[in-house]
Copies of this chain bind each other. A is one copy, B any other.
Amino acid sequence: MSRISYIEDQVSWEEEFSFFCPVKVRFSETDMFGHLNNTIPFIYFEQARIEFFRDLGFMDEWIKPSSENMIVVADLQCDFLKQVYFNEQLRIYVKAGKIGNSSVDIHYMGKNEKDTTCFVGRGSIVQISKKTGKAAPWSAEWKEILENKLRESR
C-alpha cells in the first residue's frame, strides 16, 4: 500500500489506532451498483472525528454559542481498498497525526467485521476564530492533550 502518500508503513500505521466509532451501512447509503456509495466514507469520517474530539473534550467547547473558536475542515481524502456492502458493520478508527499551531492532521481507517481494512483516509482540520475567520492557535492545554494522544499511539 505504498501508493498511499500519507502511509509510510501500513502495519505500524494501523497499529497506532485505538479509538473507533461503530457504524452500520444503511440501505440508503448503497447505490445502483450495490456498493456503499463512495461519498459515504466521508460522512463516517466526520462522525468518527466528532466522537474523537468529543472524547478529548474539544467538541463540547466548539459547539457552545459562547465559544470564540470553531473548526473547519481544510482537506479530506479517502483511498478505497475494498468494496463495502449494505448492512456491513464497520469500525471507523481515528487518530491524530501531525499537529500544527492551529491545525491537526486526522487519520482514518474503516475496518469490516473480518478485520479487513476497507478504506483509509486523512484530512487536516483547523481551529478558526468565529469573529475573524482566521486560524486560532491551540491553547497550551489543548496542544498538550493532542500531543499526548499522538505519543500514546506510538
Contact = CB atoms under 8 A, between A and B. Distances in A.
Interface of A: 4-5, 24, 26-28, 30-35, 37-39, 42-43, 46-47, 50, 54, 63, 70, 72-80, 83, 86-87
A38 B39 CA distance: 11
A70 to B, nearest CB: 7
Contact of A37 (B28, B35, B38, B50): B28
Contact of A31 (B27, B76, B80): B27
A73 B27 contact: no
Give the number of copies in the complex. Answer: 4
B70 A79 contact: no
Dominant SS at the A interface?
Answer: mixed
Given A5-B5, A28-B31, A75-B77, 18 more contacts: A4-B75, A24-B47, A26-B43, A26-B46, A27-B46, A27-B50, A28-B39, A30-B32, A31-B32, A32-B34, A33-B70, A39-B43, A39-B46, A50-B87, A72-B80, A74-B79, A75-B78, A76-B78
A46 B42 contact: no
Given A27-B31, A28-B37, A77 B77 contact: yes
A52 B38 CA distance: 17
